Structure 1
Amino acid sequence: MALTSTITRYNENWPALFLAEQARIAEGFQAELLAIHHVGSTAVPGLAAKPEIDVLVVVSEHRDEPAKKTFMTTLGYVRGSNLSEGHHFYRRDVDEVRTHKVHVCINGHPQIARMLRFRELLRSDSVIRQQYQELKLQLEASNREGIGEYLAGKAPFIDEVVG
């Protein structure tokens, strides 16, 4: 079973794609918006990644969820399941290929610090970055069950380095 997209070499356009999406998303979260961050592998220069822009939206609270869902739908997103209490998820696919993932977390949610810390570790430590890239490529090559298997394979490495 295929992943949501294929891992590719780092693309210098990924930061610009994030900035464009950041501006679009900010409109719908104005009242409670605290910050929008580029996270995930596409936020790490030089790191091979699935070309899916990961966006972390930090909000003061989850307010008027039906309106948020409607707004995100107008941007081409589908509301996924909550990943945990206070951690909402949206995905955007174009021609059946995942292009964007949006994590909307209430300020103080542990995933915020975790995502930002992992991004900074990958940006600053070339050894960890290379190990992570090799792991991702191995997991992609051996994947039989899809994205769940891939994410489960990455989790122990991330847990170890983030601490």
Structure 2
Amino acid sequence: MGLTSTISLYDSRWPALFLCAREQIAAAFGAELVAIHHVGSTAVPGLAAKPEIDLLIEVSAHLNEAHRDTVMRELGYARGSDLSAGHHFYRRDVDGVRTHKAHVCLTGHRQIERMLRFRDRLRHDPVLRQQYQDLKRELEASNTGGIGEYLAKKAPFIDGVMGAD
């Protein structure tokens, strides 16, 4: 089982795709919405990535989840398993190809600061960005276990960059 999409060169359309997705899904969160951030590799200019737009949605509370799930489903997002307490996950696939991932985290959740800080480090450090890109391409080339294997093998690099947080 391979990855749901292949790594491609940076595409200057990714920020616009994020803005479109942000506008579409904001209504699903109502008054609980604090912010929607573009994270992941598509948020880093110049970085090759799987063309999957990652959204980090910060909410003040997880209110009316049934309504949220309905709106997200109408927009083509499927609710996945919670990644941790206070960290919900949605994915959007088109014709079997992943196009978007939405992480919904409560304000103060450690993943918010972690995702934003990792993105910003990659944006500002070209050497680090190249190392990460090289690793991702290497992992893609050797991947036989799908996305779980890919994520697990990227984790030590990310943890090393982020320190012991």
Coarse TM-score class (shorter-chain normalised): over 0.9
Aligned counterpart, 1:20: 20
Question: Could you tell me which amino acid in structure 2 is paired with residue 12 of structure 1?
Answer: S
CA apart distance, 1:99: 0.1
SS at match of 2:31: coil
* CA offset digits 1:65-108 (Å, max 9, x no partner): 11111010000000000000000000000000000000000000
Partner residue of 1:102? 102
1:121 aligns with 2:121: yes
2:18 equivalent to 1:48: no
- Residue 73 of structure 2 is aligned to residue 73 of structure 1: yes
Q: Secondary structure at the match of 1:105?
A: strand
State the percentage of identical aligned residues: 69
> 2:100 and 2:42 mapped to 1: Cα distance?
10
Q: CA deviation at 1:2?
A: 1.2
The CA distance in 1 between the partners of 2:107 and 2:5, in whole Å, is 30
State the superposition RMSD in angstroms. 0.4
Secondary structure in 2 matching 1:37: strand
Question: C-alpha separation between the residues in 2 aligned to 1:30 and 1:73?
Answer: 16
Partner of 1:10: 10
Deviation at 1:135, TM superposition (A): 0.2
* SS of alignment partner, residue 81 of structure 1: coil
Cα deviation code 1:105-141 (max 9, x no counterpart)? 0000000000000000000000110000000000000
TM-score (norm 2): 0.98
1:149: which partner in 2?
A: 149
Q: Unaligned stretches of 5+ in structure 2?
A: none
Match of 2:88 in 1: 88
Return the offset for 1:38.
Answer: 0.2
The residue type paired with residue 118 of structure 1 is F
Q: CA deviation at 1:28?
A: 1.1
Deviation beyond 2 Å, 4+ runs, structure 1: none
Deviation at 1:162, TM superposition (A): 1.1
Give the secondary structure class of the aligned counterpart of 1:85.
Answer: coil
Looking at structure 1, the residues matched to 138 and 129 of structure 2 have their Cα atoms a distance apart, in angstroms, of: 14
User: What amino acid sits opposite 2:116 in the alignment?
Assistant: L
Residue 160, structure 1, aligned to residue 151, structure 2: no
